[in-house]
Structure 1
């Protein structure tokens, strides 16, 4: 499979009513069509098709339900002020999907074919892409085991699906700084586990801590490492950055941290602006000390869904750390404006990140 000519297309006869911008939210509405492809040992990946968005039928013993063999990606399509449709670094998402597939023993997909399929799906459902500021079309490619079998082993059959959802702002707080609770009991992942893969179990694993944090009035959890419970890893489902005494620091990728595409983009942007940036291990004690010395200047999370989420307050044990008087920092704002500008087509893309439809 190497071209869109091998994709069968069945268009819907009952188009759905599109939501208003006020109704968007995140991940609640879905476009008229979806892409789907199947895998078997005998045929490999085959039967590529674009069909009306619909339920899928699985055997009750399908292995996904029992052993969690699945991975997913998150990416976005944007409509520029001129009405053009563009993607942001989509090849990196499909490359990471295969890295996750490998970790979960799921057969690799043809990355170029997947991108071609996505472009064809987008061309069909492009009217679903909202154009209001802060909105986009969220794209969710995912693979999962379908074989009906209860033995613990890699499955012999899979689905690869792409669905799409028009979205507004990820957080109800918008771009305003959020309150973060540093988790001291639960861990998200450990080195040698599945932390660097984008698999559903990592997110289910974090729900309990997130539930507790929400009840205490915090938007997200700051995860520490699973071995010493000292080293900062991720914030919620995002990578995290701190600006301390003029230098921007983010935890180095270590096998338990997801290699965020937004994270990588931020590193490129910071370096292009000649801002001192470092990838290394950083402890929660170092952050607390920086706060006490008055040099904890900014903190923010990065990810596809939220882009950037400024952090206005961190709570670690009994200490509440207010960052930048609870206001958005200058570097945080610059990064947000620049990256969203590139994505939306209002800032020049000097990195070659944009793929136009």
Structure 2
């Protein structure tokens, strides 16, 4: 297991695999599943595998049949109610609480380990989906379930005033300790270049101090447009070059109105008021910030999440995304033109993982 291990074969989307054991954590912290396919055995990243549809839970502990697909990362708030076809399957991506009802306050029946295959039995309620399997039945937070995307409805419909109502989600409430080396808050006015375009969204860097690099670029891995709602093709993931990322302060990248915050993804979207909105993810957002609040660019909003923090995903980093808002959803656009970050452009250059390794010192 590990990204530096020898490649035995390349498996296409939809390849049938048999999981032959428990998940294994590699030295770099990534999770891998032992599998067999076509008589050959090896390891596949756990995030690339979802359970195939199942007609009913199996009482035996035999390996579940799963299907290779793109990794599923819950980075969007889950609407309160939605519909899903019966008899679809899912796979837990981390330790997941099986609860007695669709609420973070419902009793915990048991904890499902990573890689547990379950049947999704209905639509999502309050960000939870009803499931059943060899471990019994109950409710699991959709954000902890690969395959839980089947419970997502069509694009959200905004209220007449443009606000979107969001439900609570299940995520850790722990806040990582502040780094021993933190940067001072950027000056909101001085952070933007002097020659700002008249139509500029006015985006500044949401982090400050040290050298930061792109650890996942455009059009790669989880940064794709998976649906009309899940638009992440032009997202950029940033981490400090020295590795001192967790606990670093995060600042509002733009002035405007907070459209939502979501603890499950560590996310927040700010509507800049010019047809664009800027979102950050994997951040432990200040609990005093909520939907409808006015916010100024450069205002402290939280810290980069470490293990146990809101939206933490395998390594500490901050995801920055800009969307063109249309009232019923949003469309991913690159950080260029009116959406350059502090005057620095990241255009669409074609190909995969664009701007990977680019560095800045905000």
Q: Tell me the TM-score normalized by structure 1.
A: 0.29
Kindly indicate which of the two structures has a greater share of residues assigned to helix: 1
Q: Tell me the TM-score normalized by structure 2.
A: 0.28
